[in-house]
Structure 1
């Protein structure tokens, strides 16, 4: 049972360590110290929900729904292109850099963006529902449950560590130039992800 939980934790952790749209968003909010707990909780609970769906055996059904995958991929690409444009505009605008250092996003807007980064990203479904769910088939009974709990725990540990650990970088981001570099990098990540989704569609 412990080995199943450890397998789930290590695999789940390895899948979310990559720098993606969701991680970049949480990192930025953590640097701003803005709605960190709520947003980290939303990301972790969303992952837990999708992992539960996958372990329950619905990953196969999702993989066999090309229309759903197409819709999610298209919506995700459009959203990421829009957010990349916002990040680049923020980086090129000195006034936006000053505002970014203090944070001015409402909780409602932040939650909306967080949910969009989570559920409009087809990679999230492929990683949690299809891959993690599919690999759970090698466990049975309590072992499968332990595997799921291990994977869910990895998501909670990662998102809260990223959100609250970001403040350790605060001295670096005391300079507006650091925010400009961060926003440019975020814009590049979002644009690259959006392009990869469009390439997948065609």
Structure 2
């Protein structure tokens, strides 16, 4: 059980850390909103969208992949390639503090609509959940699979909450964005590590 929890935690954290459109939007709203509570709509919406995607991946894709071995192989391969590519892009990216300054605080309605669009219409999110989290859940059954999914979802909720808090804190400190570069490097290393783990699982399966 401990192994399942650790696997779900590391996998979800490695996938959610890269500062893409979704994360940047949550971070920026946390930074520019006059009060922390006013940034809750974007954090809750992003978390709910991830909960939906993870649940569909774990509950739905598993059935199809278990029936066709070639689909499982393809999904694992796509997940590995995606992680390697995103790790490289994340490593080389250089966040700019100007993005925070240019972002205006959105109303609750605009926060919800925009958060839904960057979460559910993001092809990277689909690859993350179906190609990586969904296929990774195939090695578990019963309560282990439930725990794996719950841990991944919990990481998502905690991450977006923490991201909003970090945005509010950063908004009142040096907005240079230099610390984001360090975060991206760490994220890239985690993603490459998970790609290696998936590769070993594919070979040994």
TM-score by length of 2: 0.62
Shift of 1:111: 1.2
Per-residue deviation, 1:61: 6.1
**Is the 2:30–2:39 contact (alpha carbons within 8 Å) kept by the matching residues of 1?**
yes
> Larger deviation: 33-42 or 12-21?
33-42
How many Å apart are 1:166 and its aligned residue? 1.5
> Are residues 32 and 14 of structure 1, via their aligned partners in 2, closer, same or farther at CA, if it must alter by over 3 Å?
same
Query: What is the aligned partner in structure 1 of residue 164 from structure 2?
Result: 163
Matched-pair contact (CA < 8 Å) for 2:62–2:138: no
Gaps of 5+ in 1: 65-90, 92-96, 186-202
Decide which moves more: 103-112 or 44-53.
103-112
CA deviations on 1:14-55 (whole Å, 9 max, x unpaired) are 101011000110111010136321211111111111111111
1:25 counterpart = 2:28: no
CA shift digits 1:40-96 (9 cap, x unpaired): 1111111111111111133686989xxxxxxxxxxxxxxxxxxxxxxxxxx7xxxxx
Matched, 1:46 2:49: yes
In structure 1, how many angstroms separate the alpha carbons of the residues matched to 2:127 and 2:63?
A: 11
Across the aligned residues of Structure 1 and Structure 2, the Cα RMSD in angstroms comes to: 3.0
Aligned residues of 1:51 and 1:152 also touching (Cα < 8 A): yes
Cross-structure match for 1:68:
none
Partners of 1:60 and 1:20 in 2: how far apart? Answer: 30
CA distance in 2, matches of 1:162, 1:150: 18
After the TM superposition, which parts of structure 1 deviate over 4 Å for at least 4 consecutive aligned residues? 59-64
- 2:151 is paired with a residue of what secondary structure? helix
Q: How does 1:19-98 map to 2 (within 5 A)?
A: 19-33=19-33, 35-58=38-61
* Cross-structure match for 1:115: 116
Name the counterpart of 2:91: none
Q: Distance in 1 between matches of 2:8 and 2:18?
A: 17
Check whether the contact 2:47–2:157 (CA below 8 A) recurs between aligned residues: yes
Distance (whole Å) between structure 2 residues aligned to residue 47 and residue 8 of structure 1 = 14
Aligned residue for 1:106?
107
